[in-house]
Amino acid sequence: MLKFSYVKSFASTLIIVAAALFSLNSLADGHGDHKKKDAKMNIVDTAVAAGSFNTLATALTEAGLIDTLKGDGPFTVFAPSDDAFAKIPADQLKGILADKEMLTSILTYHVVAGQVMAADVVKLNSATTVQGSDVAISTNDGVKVNDANVVKTDIVTSNGVIHVIDTVLIPAAQ
């Protein structure tokens, strides 16, 4: 039954990806032209439309957080790309995805309440996440959240902002 549920979730995610890609250019262009278009879509739909957050979308589905991040917000999400998730060994990632409590803790550790733009992030030393723990913010040698590099900033959505990171953040308790 779990496999059917996963396949159904994955199929739903693929449908969303296809629909979103049809209506939106990739966010990876780096030109900043995407802000007006994306502001009409929420955080989840914007991330899925980018095409480089498939593992994040799957994880959000498994944790039951899709509706939350489609909600009013505003939220700031430090979103790990598929490449960031690929740094986690496959068997370890499979274990995380299977443990809803751990997965929820990890995913909510990537979310800060409110809309924190890049200009604000660089003024901070830390931020409290929805999970309850703080993430460290450093501007030495680029912007870092804990050990993750922020590789793209200020992807504005209808309910917040996304900053792309290159490493999955793991709370200390994990």
Tell me if the domain spanning 2-27+34-165 has CATH number 2.30.180.10: yes
Sign of CA dihedral 31, 34, 36, 39: negative
Write down the pLDDT at residue 140. Answer: 87
Asked if residues 84 and 148 have their Cβ atoms less than 8 Å apart, the reply is yes
- Which tens digits make up the pLDDT trace of 141-164? 889 999 999 999 999 999 999 999
Maximum Cα interatomic distance, the chain, rounded to a whole number of Å: 48
- Which tens digits make up the pLDDT trace of 28-78? 334 344 444 445 899 999 999 999 999 999 999 999 999 999 999 999 999
Q: pTM of the entire structure?
A: 0.77
| Domains of the chain, residue spans | 2-27+34-165
Q: What is the mean pLDDT of the chain?
A: 82
Sign of CA dihedral 84, 100, 93, 19: negative
C-alpha 162/C-alpha 119 separation (Å) is 13
In 88-141 the beta strands, taken as DSSP E runs, fall at: 111-113, 126-128, 134-138
